[in-house]
Amino acid sequence: MYDKGKILTGLVLFVAIVAFPFWWSLASGAEVRVPDIAKPAGETQCLEDAETMRREHMQLLATWRDDVVRLRQRIHTTPDGRQYRKSLTGTCLQCHTDKAASCDRCHDYLDVAPYCWDCHVATGER
């Protein structure tokens, strides 16, 4: 009793499962692609440099939310002394006007679903 058929079927299944990303990509014709982020027109400076903003923007927004909602502290001062109102829609989205291009492209690319939009409405959206 060798169960050859069952074993081979199992192995084919195994290979199909572990190689899933490969054949899925081949089948869907996926290319290596990097999202194209829209930079605000006319503005050259964000709160901090781009690398810091990439790493820390989620933390920053979460901190802002707590500061505003719990402590009523509404003013953010950057290390170089500039002051901004702590507001996603009122500050960030004023420069990054196109949410789809500024936020969603990266988030969708990495399958990140920030819960900002559970409450907030992006400017222009209903």
Residues at the site binding another protein, with contacts judged by CB under 8 A:
1-4, 7, 10-11, 14-15, 18-22, 24-26, 30-35, 54-56, 58-59, 61-62, 106, 108-113, 115
Nearest 5°: CA angle at 41, between 39 and 43? 85
CB of 19 to another protein, least distance (A): 7
36/126 with CB nearer another protein: 36
Nearest 5°: CA angle at 94, between 92 and 99? 70
20/82 with CB nearer another protein: 20
49/124 with CB nearer another protein: 49
First to last CA, the chain: 66
CB of 81 to another protein, least distance (A): 25
Spatial separation of the C-alpha atoms in residues 7 and 82, rounded to whole Å: 67
CB of 41 to another protein, least distance (A): 22
Helix axes 20-28, 4-18, angle to 10 degrees: 60
